[in-house]
Amino acid sequence: MFFIDVIDCYKCVGKANNSSCSDPFVREEKDINEVKVIPCNRGACLKRLLKSNGTPMIMRTCTNELDFKLPLVNNVCQKESDGFGYLCMCGRDLCNRAVTDLQHLHLYYSELSFHFLY
């Protein structure tokens, strides 16, 4: 069962096209200060593509780090309500790393808005 144990998640935020957090995602020694591995207690790892002040950004973190209002569902992606970007969540160690790890996730298209304190 997912979301009952402590898992590890990547935590970073950066420009979607040119940062240590962007895809293709490879955490290297030089990125250790920008890309952290954090414990996620009874939560899910997230990967989110969003726009911030018009700039496409990637965020990777744990649901416990945010004011997360959606139910935790393993291996699911949701399209952002503005039509740009997505949010994916998963329940395995470091599963929020790369697009290839999230390609098996089912994408739900909905008009849900996401509420975060970010």
Look up the pTM and report it.
0.77
- Where in the chain are the domains? 6-107
**pLDDT classification of 8: cutoffs 50, 70, 90:** very high
Cα separation, 52 vs 58, whole angstroms: 10
From the CB of residue 102, how many other CB atoms can be counted at a distance below 10 Å?
Answer: 21
From the CB of residue 40, how many other CB atoms can be counted at a distance below 10 Å?
Answer: 24
Which residue do the tokens 């954090």 mark? 38
Radius of gyration of the chain (CA): 13
CA 92 to chain centroid = 12
From the CB of residue 37, how many other CB atoms can be counted at a distance below 10 Å?
Answer: 13
Q: What is the pLDDT of residues 22-73, one digit of tens each?
A: 888 877 777 778 899 999 998 899 999 999 899 999 999 999 898 877 767 7
Would you state the pLDDT for residue 48?
92
Would you state the pLDDT for residue 3?
65
Would you state the pLDDT for residue 98?
64
DSSP secondary structure letters along 86-115: EEEEE-STTTTS-HHHHTTSEEEP--PPP-
Q: What is the pLDDT of residues 66-111, one digit of tens each?
A: 887 776 777 788 887 777 889 898 989 999 986 544 444 444 433 3
| Percent of the residues in the chain that have a pLDDT greater than 70, as a whole number | 79
Query: Which CATH superfamily hosts domain 6-107?
Result: CD59 (2.10.60.10)
Tokens standing for residue 76: 């699911």
